[in-house]
A and B are shown apart, each in its own frame.
Chain A
Amino acid sequence: MKLVFSAVLLALTAACTHVAPYERGKLAHPTMNDAVSAGPAAEHVYAVHEGATGGGSVAESGCGCN
Chain B
Amino acid sequence: MRLAPVLAVALVAAIARADDEPNPAEQSVSRKDRGEHLAAERVATTRKLDDTSTKHAALALAAYTDSDNVTVFTPSLAASIENILQGASLKGRYIVDVVSAASADIVATASPRWTEVRHAGSLEATYKPHNFGVTIAGSVSTEPDYFSFGVGSEMTLDLFEKNTTLVAGFGYGHDTVGRCGAEGSPANTGPSCTSFGVFSRVVNRTSFNFGWTQLLGPSTVSALVLDVGLENGDQSKPYRYVPMFSSSVAPDVPNGASVAYVTANRVAERPLEQTPLSKRRLSLTGRLAHRFEGSTLKLEERVYVDTWALFASTTDARWIFDAGKRVGIWPHVRFHGQKGVSFWKRAYVSGDAPSWDLPVFRTGDRELGPLWTATGGGGLYFYLGSDANPQKARLSVSIDGIYTSFLDDLYITQRSGLISSVTLEMEL
A→B interface (CB under 8 Å): 1, 4-5, 8-9, 12, 15-21, 23-27, 29-32, 35-42, 44-46, 48-55, 57-66
A15 (CB) vs chain B CBs: closest residue: B216
Instruction: List B contacts of A63 (CB < 8 A).
Output: 118, 120, 141, 143, 146, 148
Residue B381, interface by CB 8 Å: yes
Q: B161 contacts A51, CB within 8 Å?
A: no
Quick check: which of B7-15, B254-262, B263-271, B296-304 contacts chain A, the rest being far away? B296-304
Stretch at the interface among B44-52, B244-252, B312-320: B312-320
- CA gap between A66 and B160 in the complex, in Å: 44
Is A59's CB under 8 angstroms from B419's CB?
Answer: no
A41 B419 Cβ-Cβ under 8 A: yes
Other A-B pairs, 9, CB within 8 Å; known A49-B404, A53-B229, A66-B367: A16-B163, A39-B60, A39-B421, A51-B338, A53-B283, A58-B153, A59-B138, A62-B148, A63-B120
Contacts of B64 in A (CB 8 A): 41, 45
Q: Is the CB of B161 within 8 A of A57?
A: no
Instruction: Give bound CA distance, A8 to B214, whole Å.
Output: 12
Our pick among B171, B328, B404 for the contact of A59 (Cβ within 8 Å) is: B171
**Contacts A8-B224, A31-B320, A32-B291; A59 near B137 (Cβ below 8 A):** yes
Q: Of A50, A54, A62, which one neighbours B225 at CB under 8 angstroms?
A: A54
Asked if A54 and B283 make an inter-chain contact with CB atoms under 8 angstroms apart, the answer reads yes
- Which of B28-36, B351-359, B395-403 forms contacts with chain A? B395-403
**B residues near A58, Cβ cutoff 8 Å:** 137, 152-154, 169-171, 207-209
How does the 8 Å CB contact mask read for B142-160 relative to A, with 1 for contact and 0 for none?
0101101111111000001
Contacts of B187 in A (CB 8 A): 64
What is the interface residue range for chain B against chain A? 35 or more
* Contact call A60/B150, Cβ cutoff below 8 A: yes
How many residue pairs link A and B with beta carbons under 8 A? The number is: 220
The A interface is mostly helix, strand or loop, or mixed, namely loop
Determine whether the beta carbon of B218 is less than 8 Å from that of A26: yes
A45 to B282, CA, bound (A): 21
Contacts of A44 in B (CB 8 A): 74, 95, 97
Compute how far the CA of A31 lies from the CA of B320 in the bound complex, rounded to whole angstroms. 7
Chain A nearest CB: distance from B101 CB in Å? 10
Q: Which chain A residue has the least Cβ–Cβ distance from B367?
A: A51
Q: Within the complex, what minimum Cβ distance (angstroms) separates A61 from chain B?
A: 4
Query: Are A18 and B163 closer than 8 Å at their CB atoms?
Result: yes
A59 touches B150 (CB 8 A): yes
Q: Closest residue of chain A to B162, judged by CB?
A: A21
How far does the alpha carbon of A46 sit from the alpha carbon of B314 in the complex, in Å?
Answer: 10
Q: List 26 A-B contacts (CB under 8 A).
A: A12-B216, A17-B216, A18-B160, A19-B218, A24-B218, A32-B296, A36-B318, A36-B379, A36-B381, A39-B62, A41-B76, A44-B74, A49-B402, A51-B310, A51-B338, A51-B368, A52-B310, A53-B283, A55-B285, A61-B120, A62-B141, A62-B148, A62-B173, A63-B146, A64-B145, A66-B367
Given contacts A23-B218, A61-B149, A62-B141, contact A54 B304 (CB under 8 A): yes
